[in-house]
Amino acid sequence: MSGPERERLLAELAVVSRRHMAAYVLFNQAVADRLGLHPSDLQCLNLLTLEGRPVTTGRIGELTGLTTGSATRLVDRLERAGYVVREGDPADRRRVLVSAVPERAAEFRRVWEGVGGSWVGLFDDLDDDGLAVFVGLLRRTTAFAATQAARLRSADEPVAEEPVTAKGLPKRTPRITAPAEAPRPRTGSVDAEALRRRLGGFRRGAEAGYRDVEAEISEQTEPHRAPSAAAPQPARARDAADTGGTGAAATEEATGGTVEEASS
């Protein structure tokens, strides 16, 4: 069947189904929060109670689509939370079975039954044939979802990866921003001669300040300058210089003879 009306209904179905899935995910999160579980752990517990018997960790992996390692860690979390226990298989001691704790499973069922009463009331306007059609639809959508989940987890299905740079860093798409405004033209004119005089005054002032600083430094360092580097004279030579050359006569008088005699 085809036609404008069917196309309209299919388009509406696509929108309604997406809203339905989003609403159910949020509902699942609310129930998980109520029980203190992770949403994935909640659905694992849901599938485990629907099995109605103890199952292996491998079977839990099949029900949830998880690997053996992930399924084992999931069972570990449920066991720590007190919802499941591990027991040896009486028929095969090599196998370990996982079963729900009856008291915690009853608590889980009460939450679902509280929702179930309102859920059943949604189909009061359907006859048995209409209800059978709805049940068949749910079966097909459940199988379809399981197939698509397996396809997405398959190694053969390409998975979109975040682009990275040559250095392995995440590649970010540059943000497009509006171009900057062009600079506004300046108004008025510049007096070149006045500007030249002003700059010349700045230069003369700087030179005068430089000379003042040099003069001040020279005045401060003048008293601290070292004396002349001439070699110091002996005491006798200084005395001779002070007496105007009378040192030789004094020596002659003191020795009672000539300078040569005093030297000898």
Give the model confidence (pLDDT) of 195-212 as tens digits: 677 777 767 777 777 787
In angstroms, rounded to a whole number, what is the distance separating the alpha carbons of residues 103 and 101?
A: 6
pLDDT at 34 over 60: yes
Predicted pLDDT of residue 25: 92
Predicted pLDDT of residue 260: 42
256 domain-assigned: no
**Edge to edge, what strands does the sheet with 84-89 contain?**
55-56, 92-100, 84-89
176 domain-assigned: no
84 domain-assigned: yes
245 domain-assigned: no
| Domain at 51, CATH number | 1.10.10.10
Segment 156-164 mean pLDDT: 55
Give the structural domain span for 149. Answer: 4-153
pLDDT at 160 over 60: no
144 domain-assigned: yes
Q: What is the pLDDT of residues 87-112, one digit of tens each?
A: 998 888 888 999 999 888 888 888 87
Predicted pLDDT of residue 244: 47
pLDDT bucket at 253, cuts 50 / 70 / 90: very low
The region, left, alpha or beta by phi > 0 then psi within -120 to 50, assigned to residue 174 is beta
136 domain-assigned: yes
Predicted pLDDT of residue 223: 61
Using the structure block, give the residue that is written with the tokens 């001669």. Answer: 193
128 domain-assigned: yes
pLDDT at 162 over 80: no
Q: What are the distances in angstroms from CA 89 to CA 55, 93, 95? A: 10, 6, 6
Q: Indicate the pTM of the whole model.
A: 0.53
179 domain-assigned: no
Q: What's the total number of domains in the chain?
A: 1
Calculate the average pLDDT of the chain.
77
In angstroms, rounded to a whole number, what is the distance separating the alpha carbons of residues 242 and 261?
A: 24
